[in-house]
Amino acid sequence: MRIDKITRNGKEFAVIPVHDLQKLMDDSEMLADVKAYDRAKARLERGEDEVIPLEITERRLAGEDTVKIWREYREMTQAELAKRSHVSRPMIAAIEAGHKKGGIATLKKLAGALGVSLDNIA
């Protein structure tokens, strides 16, 4: 790689061919992707995150309620979720049926009991 130096207003600049610049940018992007992958893998290994199974994604895309999807994935009944989350079973049933949305405080309780982030059920 050929690098020329120029000085403008007392500052030094490097001038490189556009092809070399593009390669450096591509390599930088690849390195950022590898680092992001390594961080995600470490979170998975520490149990701080989990892979969302295809089944859940497909059910979400089909329009099913996310609370119900995660509850069933975790193999919990509405009564078990109510006990763990301190949200009434009728409220959970209403949210799952689409009759109620559930406020942020309620959804936070449900997310905590299901072991998912609020983003995954809101």
Q: Kindly report the CA angle at 30 between 24 and 35, in degrees rounded to 5?
A: 125
- 64 vs 67: CA distance, rounded Å: 9
Q: How far is CA 15 from CA 11, 19, 26, 60, 120, in A?
A: 13, 12, 18, 50, 47
Q: What is the percent of the chain with per-residue pLDDT over 90, rounded to a whole number?
A: 88
All CATH 1.10.260.40 domain ranges in the chain, comma separated: 54-120
83-106 mean pLDDT: 96
pTM for this predicted structure: 0.66
| 76: confidence class by pLDDT, cuts 50, 70, 90 | very high
In the three-class reduction of DSSP (H, G, I as helix; E, B as strand; rest coil), residue 31 is classed as helix
pLDDT, mean over the chain: 94
What CATH number has the domain spanning 54-120?
1.10.260.40
| 50: confidence class by pLDDT, cuts 50, 70, 90 | confident
Residue 46 burial (CB < 10 Å; 0-12/13-18/19+)?
A: exposed
The answer on pLDDT for 8 being more than 90 is: yes
57-80 mean pLDDT: 96
- How confident is the model at residue 48, as a pLDDT? 84
74-92 mean pLDDT: 98
pLDDT digits (tens, 9 = 90+) for 33-47: 999 999 999 999 998
